[in-house]
Amino acid sequence: MKISRLFQQKKAVYSFEIFPPKPTADLNAVRGAIEALSALAPDYISVTCSAGGSGNSRTPEIAQMVKACGVEPLAHLTCINSDRAAILDALEKLRRLGIRNVLALRGDRIPGAPDSPDFSYAADLVRFIRGNGYDFDLAGACYPEGHPDCPDLDTDIEHLKQKVDAGVTHLNSQLFFDNEDFFRFRDRLAKAGIDVPVQAGIMPLVKKSHVDRIVGLSGAKIPAKISRMVARFYDTPDALQEAGIAYAVDQAIDLLSAGVQGVHLYVMNNPYVARRITESVSPILRELNGVPHAD
Ligand code: FAD
Q: Where are the alpha helices (DSSP H) in the chain?
A: 3-9, 31-38, 59-68, 84-96, 122-131, 153-165, 179-191, 208-209, 215-218, 224-233, 237-257, 271-288
For CA atoms 133, 137, 140, 144, the dihedral sign is positive
HEC per residue, 127-156 = HHHHHCCCCCEEEEEECCCCCCCCCCHHHH
DSSP class of residue 214 equals I
pLDDT band at residue 13 using 50, 70 and 90 as cut-offs = very high
| pLDDT, position 55 | 54
Of the pLDDT bands very low, low, confident and very high (cuts 50, 70, 90), residue 116 is very high
* Residue type (1 letter), 153: L
Pick from 48, 106, 128 the residue to mutate for probing ligand 1's pocket: most ligand atoms within 8 Å of its CB: 106
| 200 Ramachandran zone, left/alpha/beta (phi>0; psi -120 to 50) | beta
Q: What is the pLDDT of residues 21-37, one digit of tens each?
A: 988 888 888 999 999 99
Alpha-carbon distance 289 to 73, whole Å?
A: 21
Q: In a 10 Å sphere around its CB, with 0-12 CB exposed, 13-18 middle and 19+ buried, how is residue 23 labelled?
A: exposed
Element (H, E) at 101: strand 101-105
pLDDT of the residue at 293: 57
48 neighbors 102 (Cβ within 8 angstroms): no
Per-residue pLDDT averaged across 227-254, rounded?
96
| Ligand 1, atom nearest to 150 Cα | 9
- Per-residue pLDDT, 28: 86
The percent of residues above 70 in pLDDT, for the chain, comes to 97
Q: Are 166 and 127 in contact (CB under 8 A)?
A: yes
pLDDT tier, 213 (very low <50, low <70, confident <90, very high otherwise)? confident
Between 202 and 108, whose confidence is greater? 202
Whether the pLDDT of residue 53 is over 80: the answer is no
Average pLDDT over residues 180-194: 98
The confidence score (pLDDT) of residue 102 equals 98
Judge whether residue 206 has pLDDT over 90: yes
Q: Is the pLDDT assigned to residue 262 strictly greater than 80?
A: yes
**274 within 8 A of 35, measured Cβ to Cβ:** no
CATH 3.20.20.220, domain 3-289, yes or no: yes
Angle between helix 153-165 and 122-131 (nearest 10): 10
| 203 CB within 6 A, ligand 1 | no
| More confident call, 109 vs 293 | 109
Q: Domain residue spans in the chain?
A: 3-289
Q: CA-CA distance, 51 to 81, in Å (whole number)? A: 8
Confidence check: pLDDT of 295 > 60: no
pTM to 2 decimal places: 0.96
Query: What pLDDT is recorded for position 244?
Result: 97
- Centre of ligand 1 to C-alpha 23, Å, is 23
Model confidence at 14, pLDDT cuts 50, 70, 90, reads very high
| Residue 17 is a catalytic residue | yes
User: How far does the centroid of ligand 1 lie from the alpha carbon of residue 219, in Å?
Assistant: 13
Q: Is 48's C-beta closer than 6 angstroms to any atom of ligand 1? A: yes
The three-class DSSP label of residue 115 is coil
Of residues 233 and 109, more confidently modeled: 233
Q: Using the predicted structure, report yes or no on whether residue 181 has a pLDDT greater than 60.
A: yes
What pLDDT, on the 0 to 100 scale, is given for residue 148? 93
Is a pLDDT exceeding 80 seen at residue 106? Answer: yes
From residue 24, give the alpha-carbon distance in Å to each of 53, 107, 130, 237: 16, 22, 34, 28
